[in-house]
């Protein structure tokens, strides 16, 4: 955590889905700084503080879509969880796929949680609030 704010990294290529998550988090009771990147390549640059992300904070938690351009979420998850400096960052897979193979693969790559995005806007916002209630209020996040 930077100060008293939870640092959240959203890895999402859909502007509308990223907007819903951001808006729901704005209403959260816990203070947070939300950062958003569009694909796995940008996420790696953010996590390693390269390029335009030199001053990026270390995320306390990451929300990851699986279906991303350039480097998809599965590749990114495998890279994060095999990196000693990054593997302790909790990764919540938040994706449109409910396929058993995607769920199994994400957990085999050490995702901390797997959630399927609801199609309904209000249900999506409610899911983000549930993430906040569990991960920000009940879970002790790892130190940086």
Q: How far apart are CA 125 and CA 120, in angstroms?
A: 9
pLDDT of amino acid 26: 80
Question: Model confidence over 103-119: pLDDT tens digits?
Answer: 999 999 999 999 998 88
pLDDT score of 19 more than 70: yes
Question: Model confidence over 27-72: pLDDT tens digits?
Answer: 777 778 999 999 999 999 999 999 999 999 999 999 999 999 989 9
CATH fold of 6-132 reads: Rossmann fold (3.40.50)
CA dihedral 53, 57, 7, 93 (to 10 degrees): 60
Tell me what the mean pLDDT of segment 92-113 comes to.
94
pLDDT of amino acid 3: 55
Domain residue limits, the chain = 6-132
Beta bridge partners of 94: 115
pTM for this structure?
Answer: 0.91
Q: How many CA atoms lie within 13 A of 56 on its CB side?
A: 22
The pLDDT confidence band at residue 11, using thresholds 50, 70 and 90, is very high
Tell me what the mean pLDDT of segment 92-98 comes to.
91
């Amino acid at each position: 955590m930077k100060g008293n704010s939870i640092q959240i990294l959203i890895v999402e290529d859909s502007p509308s889905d990223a907007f819903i998550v951001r808006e729901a988090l704005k209403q959260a009771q816990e203070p947070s700084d939300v950062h958003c990147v569009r694909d796995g390549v940008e996420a790696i640059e953010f996590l390693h503080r390269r390029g335009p992300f030199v001053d990026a904070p270390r995320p306390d938690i990451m929300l990851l879509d699986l279906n991303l351009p350039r480097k998809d979420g599965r590749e990114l998850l495998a890279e994060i969880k095999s990196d000693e400096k990054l593997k302790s960052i909790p990764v919540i897979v938040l994706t449109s796929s409910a396929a058993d193979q995607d769920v199994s693969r994400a957990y085999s790559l050490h995702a901390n949680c797997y959630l399927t995005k609801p199609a309904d806007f209000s249900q999506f916002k409610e899911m983000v609030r549930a993430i906040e209630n569990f991960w920000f209020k009940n879970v002790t996040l790892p130190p940086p």
